[in-house]
Amino acid sequence: MNAPARAGAAALAALLAAAAAPVAHAAPDPGFTWAVRPAGPTGPSGRDYFVYTAAPGQKISDKVTVSNLGSRALTLRVYATDAFNTPDGSFALLTADRRATGVGTWIAFRAGTYRIKPGKRLQVPFTLTVPADATPGDHSGGVVTAITQQETSATGQRVNVDRRVAARVHVRVNGPLSPSVQIEELAASYSAPVAGTSDMTVAYRVRNTGNVRVTASARISAAGPFGWSQGRPVSRPIPELLPGNTYTFTEKLPGVAPVGPLRASVRLTLADPATGSALAVRPVTRTASSWGVPWLYLGLVVVLAGGVAVFAVRRRRKA
């Protein structure tokens, strides 16, 4: 397969992996449709994801349920891989051409492929072995089921398309836990209007510098001289952020007046993604400066100063 074809297949695979939801289904296709979910004693369990707390060196046995919802028999590849966050905040899994180095290497299946008849489901056993030197904190990945099909592109090329459906895996390794984030590359910009107010644009990047996955609520605000509040603050939820990963955001604060020196502030309050409750750590705050030139008032001052100067000159001439 040539480079463009490989790129197209990889992009589709990444899209399907990113869509791994509590009950993951393949892309709509009457013949190839299937679902993946953690298994219970007789079928899919009530679990949304595979979530474990384990010690270094511990071995865990579990099963994943794969249901064939289509009209044709499926022969699926089953394997595990690592997770990461996409720039827009989605949970995604490494594409098939990228080698896992984390949780994806901890999980082993008895076979690499499994055949499932139409309308049937299969419980696939696996073992998860935490390495003896695994670092404390959260390690995330997914159990992937995949089938490769040849399709014709819009340009008439035959390409291999990797369709994937996955169930998320989160492993928390025992040891000291450190929920922590940083606000990076914070920048504020403001284009002052001739009169009235304008928007302040605030761009910033959030990095998970701890060893556990977190969510956060962000509050972005602006202030002028002496802490004078400006514009309307903006709040947004920060999606689940895996350790070492980043999200980049751009906000617009409306109604900011051109009052000279301006300061943008971003405040993050961390929460546990599993429960939604706030974590017992101090909120993270960072500020950046900008400048809003009050052109209308500055113009009035210039005109007034000019008038005063003309008046003073005329008085001297009369004297």
Q: What are the sequence ranges of the domains in the chain?
A: 3-173, 181-299
232, pLDDT greater than 90: yes
72, pLDDT greater than 60: yes
- What is the model's pLDDT at position 191? 83
**What phi and psi values does residue 18 have, to the nearest 5 degrees?**
-65, -20
11, pLDDT greater than 70: no
Q: In this predicted structure, which of 7-21, 31-45, 221-235, 285-299 has the lowest mean pLDDT?
A: 7-21
d(CA 311, CA 291): 33
**Cα 77–chain centre separation:** 27
Any residues with CB less than 8 A from the CB of 172 and at least 6 apart, and which?
51, 52, 53, 54, 137, 138, 139, 212
d(CA 3, CA 213): 35
228, pLDDT greater than 50: yes
d(CA 215, CA 273): 5
70 vs 45, higher pLDDT: 70
CATH T-level fold of 181-299:
Immunoglobulin-like (2.60.40)
246 vs 157, higher pLDDT: 246
Q: How confident is the model at residue 302 (pLDDT cuts 50, 70, 90)?
A: very low
Dihedral angle sign, alpha carbons of residues 313, 315, 316, 318:
positive
What is the arithmetic mean of pLDDT over 66-90? Answer: 93
40, pLDDT greater than 70: yes
What is the arithmetic mean of pLDDT over 48-71? Answer: 95
d(CA 144, CA 161): 15
Neighbours of 75 (CB within 10 A): 9
119, pLDDT greater than 80: yes
pLDDT digits (tens, 9 = 90+) for 141-151: 999 999 987 77
**What phi and psi values does residue 14 have, to the nearest 5 degrees?**
-65, -40
What is the arithmetic mean of pLDDT over 262-287? Answer: 95
Residue count of the chain, please give it: 319
Q: In this predicted structure, which of 48-62, 250-264, 265-279, 288-302 has the lowest mean pLDDT?
A: 288-302
245, pLDDT greater than 50: yes
**Cα 274–chain centre separation:** 16
Q: Considering the entire predicted model, what is its pTM?
A: 0.79
Q: Do domains 3-173 and 181-299 have the same CATH topology?
A: yes
CATH for 3-173, options being 2.40.10.480, 3.40.47.10, 2.60.40.10, 2.40.50.180: 2.60.40.10
For residues 173 and 55, is the Cβ–Cβ distance under 8 A? yes
**For residue 296, what are its two tokens?**
């209308």
Q: In this predicted structure, which of 67-71, 231-235, 293-297 has the lowest mean pLDDT?
A: 293-297
116, pLDDT greater than 80: yes
- What is the model's pLDDT at position 317? 60
**For residue 147, what are its two tokens?**
């089938």
Q: In this predicted structure, which of 21-25, 152-156, 200-204, 229-233 has the lowest mean pLDDT?
A: 21-25
- What is the model's pLDDT at position 260? 84
Burial class (CB in 10 A: 0-12, 13-18, 19+), 217: middle
3-state helix, strand, coil in the chain (%, to 5): 15, 50, 35
pLDDT digits (tens, 9 = 90+) for 172-197: 999 999 999 999 999 999 887 766 78
- What is the model's pLDDT at position 179? 96
Average pLDDT score, the chain: 85
109, pLDDT greater than 90: yes
- Please give the DSSP secondary-structure letter assigned to residue 105: G
